[in-house]
Amino acid sequence: MSAKVLLHVGTPKTGTSYLQDVLWRSRPALERAGVLYPADRFDAHFLAALDLMDLPWGGLETEAVGRWEQLAAQVRAFEGTSIVSHEILATATRTQAAQALADLGHAPGDPDGAEVHVLISVRDLVRQVPAEWQETVKHRSTLTYEKFLADLRDPARPTRVSSWFWAAQEIPAILDRWVGDLPPERVHLITVPPSGADRDLLWQRFSSAFGLDGIELDLEADRANASLGVPEAALVRRINTAATGVVPPADYRPLVRELLAHRTLSARSGSPRLALPPDVHPWAVEVSEQWSDEVRRRGYDVVGDLADLHPGPPPTRWADPDSPRESQVADAAVDAITALLVEGVAMREHEARLHGEIEHLRAELHRAHRWRRAKEKALRGVRRSRAGRGLHRVYRRVLRRS
Amino acid sequence: MTDGAARAWGWLAHLRDGGTTTWPAWAGAAEPSARTLPGAQQLELLRRLNLQLRADAGPAARPQDALVERVLTTSPPGRGRPELDLVGVVPDRGWGYAPADPTLLPRPELVRLASALLAEDLVAAGGGRGQEAPQRPPARRFARRRPAVSGDPWRADLLRRSLHARGVRLGHPDAGLVVLGADLATMLTDSWTALAFSGRGRLTGWPAWVRQLPERDLLPRGADPAGLAAVRAERRAQRPGRAGDLGPESVRIVLDPALLPGLLRVRDLPPPPRVPADAVELARRVSATLALRVPRARGRHLMRGPFLARVDGLPGPALGVPAELHRWVQRQSRRQRRGLEDAGYPVHGDPGLLVADLRSLAGRDAAEPDEVGVLSLALRMLTGTERAHEQDEPGHDQHRHDQHRHDQHDDETGGTR
């Protein structure tokens, strides 16, 4: 049974990918320090979370079957400190969270139970809202920013997108579901520093909260935040509108999300940044203040400063991704087309190579097939007579003996 | 503990005892019996189970304790609303979902939860998560040469499954291909039924799925025998050693099921299952949950094996094409008949069988799935009473109508007993 389990349950867009990448790359160093990050592939904890929460994810869920049980078993079998981390765990229901804690060894009152800590990294709502819309767009959505914001502010949370957003971002509700009967000292909030802060500050907070100080970790993981500007996000949304019906999810992921959004459009500079509209800003400030007051009242361990949750002032200039400057979108589209052409050329070269291989294999198969048919024809001829059938029996007997 | 919380724990105890009183009408109180109170969805589903079981098995009937515990500890699967607090128990805190009156929960929310339990039952009935889907029988050197079967995906797959179960192997490389066809309305409903029973995740509901076909001017491949035959013939011709020895005559279209045993060289074939529209819709929901639990091939096997066995022959109208699409179906089916005649494939059966005319479409005992019926069937399958009313089968429409009214009455009165 693990002596201690550090369970990181979110939230998305708080530097979790970088943390998980460092942990994944540094497994040997961690194990030498008595810390287990149980993963056989970089997305092992993501798959385990999908399995725990019965979540469909564009077909990936088929690879997730049984993954949570595997991960929990590894944690229970380890005698040191184990780390489990994935941001979509934030969306777990009360029942799933209780199940997860129990699976990881949490047993109140049992001296043999593991010491489970729940950690949650949090960022102010003013940065989270546009970041989540952008993430939605990168997952094939055609939702306008205006509609997205209206859905978020609707108390009924009527759509799948709004219910997902609040499930993943509403800090007091996430804590309500996850904390259960854990004492406040086993609940840790890691706040994301405000914009413009020292780049290493967030990592220092993660390192301190997870007890990683002093361990030789591989920190060379890619920490570039693949975020889109206003014209780029508008372009991807328009591509979704045109292509969702014709590009299957399995192809969308490498071509649109990875090639276009992450590798091409995120690399563009100088575009206006996505932000909350000035008229929505006060609402986000009010909600953030309510949340930080509640967290302060509960007395959890805060790594960082709850003041980080307080949004800064509204932007002086705001660009609307639903009505972007068309010249900027056109520039982004030219870059996107160029990237697709380069990819197309590479694929054509690859295809030509494969065609050569297929022709070669087909010719070999054809020869083998003709030989088989000739043998079958001869066999049928031989077996027409009694003597031939006898001869065939003898032949098979000899074959079996040899 | 607040008064509201005590009342909620009291309601939970009442429901555990088989009670059917609605939350707004409940007035008792009790001490907590668990670490956390289940959500409104779980509690309301348990109430509905109690109600259904009383209707099906008598006033003293109550669900087994194990089922009660499962209902109370299962989360609604997939994306959607999480477990909701009961109205009157938790004050409005300014975050989280607003507390809910469970009697007002939409039925699909309850079916979502019930589908998770049914999926668990199926996995258990099929031998657990680790079981492999069955394979087709091995090839034997001197076995009879039987053709491959394709076409209407629902009938073709069930036929393959039943023959494989008998140890009969189809698809000899030299025996050609049999493409099953029927009238277009049947092939459309069969195509969606096959998807619903495929153990796959997201599948659009029948009304949206069928209505997008005329909008996009397309037919699913399984509902287009001539198109499918052309694709398969081309694919076979491309196999090594096949060029030139397979023409249109190696692909046969079969429209009359009575001719199939002779063509497949078997003595007889089982009749196709009769699955009511509500059961097909429930299969779609259970498939979506099953896709999260077991690999696709295993899910498909569980849906077309144990699940189908439970819903085959249940009363209720079959799945039908909506009336506003009948003209489109008639037009398309006539076009299909002309296309088939032009393609030159041997056709077994009257080509007129392909055509679905307006009169025959209007006269069918068919319907779209109905949420009341789907929830009712889910509840019955959970308690194992789905066959409780089989004796009513000659008048099953009347039964369904009565059941519908019964459920509506419960909804209106809160179902207090």
What local confidence, expressed as pLDDT, does residue B393 receive? 46
Chain A residues closer than 8 Å to B296 by CB: 62
pLDDT at B414 over 90: no
Summarize pLDDT for A154-173 with one digit per residue, the tens: 988 888 899 999 999 999 99
Of chain A, the percentage scoring pLDDT greater than 70 comes to 98
Nearest chain A residue (CA) to B295: A62
**What's residue B293's pLDDT?**
83
| Within-domain flag for A8 | yes
| DSSP SS3 for B304 | helix
pLDDT at residue B396 greater than cutoff 80: no
Question: Which B positions 56-115 lie with beta carbon below 8 A of chain A?
Answer: 73-83, 93-98
- The mean per-residue pLDDT over the stretch B262-281 comes to 92
Lowest mean pLDDT among A10-14, A57-61, A313-317, B290-294: A57-61
Q: B316: which DSSP letter?
A: S
Q: Looking at the 3D structure of chain A, how many domains does it have?
A: 1
A199-233 tens-digit pLDDT = 889 999 999 999 999 999 988 866 555 789 999 99
**Interval A187-197 mean pLDDT:** 93
User: A93 and B83: CB-CB below 8 Å?
Assistant: yes
- Considering only residues B94 and A225, tell me which one the structure prediction assigns the higher pLDDT: B94
Across the range B229-256, mean pLDDT stands at 72
Does the structure show a pLDDT above 90 at B324? yes
Q: What residue segments make up the domains of chain B, in order of their start?
A: 3-105, 148-386
User: Does a structural domain hold residue A360?
Assistant: no
In a domain, A218, yes or no: yes
Q: How far is CA A197 from CA A190, A201, A269, in A?
A: 15, 7, 20
From chain A, the residues in CB contact with B38 under 8 A are 95
Shortest CA distance from B129: residue in chain A: A66
Q: Which two tokens stand for residue A370?
A: 């003709």
Residue A362, in any domain of the structure: no
Helix or strand holding residue B39 (H, E):
none
Q: Is residue A51 part of a domain?
A: yes
Task: Return the closest-CA partner of residue B98 out of A345, A32, A170.
Answer: A170
**Domain coverage including residue A73:** 4-224+279-317
In chain A, % of residues over pLDDT 90: 77
pLDDT reported for residue B205: 93
In sequence order, the 6+-apart residues with CB closer than 8 A to the CB of A145 are A130, A133, A320, A321, A322
CB of A4 closer than 8 Å to CB of A33: no
Q: Which residues contact B25 (CB under 8 A, 6 or more apart)?
A: B414, B416
Q: Give contacts of B39 with chain A, Cβ < 8 Å.
A: 93-95
**Helix (H, G, I), strand (E, B), or coil: what is residue A352?**
helix
The pLDDT-based confidence of B38 (bands split at 50, 70, 90) is: very high
pLDDT in tens, B110-137: 999 999 999 999 999 877 666 666 677 7
Three-class secondary structure of residue B347 per DSSP: strand
Token output for B408: 């509506």
pLDDT band at A147 (very low <50, low <70, confident <90, very high): very high
What percentage of chain B exceeds 90 in pLDDT? 55
In a domain, A55, yes or no: yes
pLDDT at B241: 55
**Does residue A258 fall inside a structural domain?**
no
Taking residues A286-315, report their average pLDDT. Answer: 92
Closest to A215 (Cα-Cα) out of A348, A31, A2, A399: A31
Model confidence at B357, pLDDT cuts 50, 70, 90, reads: confident
pLDDT at res. B295: 83
Determine the distance in angstroms separating the CA of B197 from the nearest CA of chain A, rounded to an integer. Answer: 17
Residue A73 lies in a domain: yes
pLDDT digits (tens, 9 = 90+) for B329-338: 999 999 999 9
Distance between CA atoms of B369 and B316, rounded to whole angstroms?
Answer: 10
pLDDT in the model for residue A10: 84
B interface test, pick of A95, A157, A384, A393 with most B CB neighbours within 10 Å:
A95
Alpha-carbon distance of B131 to B128, in angstroms, equals 6
Q: B241 and A373: CB-CB below 8 Å?
A: yes
Percent over 70 (pLDDT), chain B:
87
Degrees, nearest 5: CA angle A108-A111-A116: 55
Give the C-alpha separation, A149 to A140, whole Å: 18
CATH code for position A302: 3.40.50
Pinpoint the alpha helices (H) of B90-152: 107-125
Q: What are phi and psi of B98, to 5 degrees?
A: -65, 140
Q: When comparing pLDDT for B126 and A93, which is higher?
A: A93
Is the predicted pLDDT of residue B410 greater than 50, yes or no? Answer: no
For residue A27, with 0-12 CB atoms within 10 Å meaning exposed, 13-18 middle and 19 or more buried, which class applies?
Answer: middle
Nearest CA in chain B to A63: B295
Interface probe with B: pick from A47, A55, A65, A162, most Cβ of B within 10 Å = A65
> In sequence order, which residues have a C-beta less than 8 Å from that of residue B370 and are 6 or more positions away?
B277, B278, B404
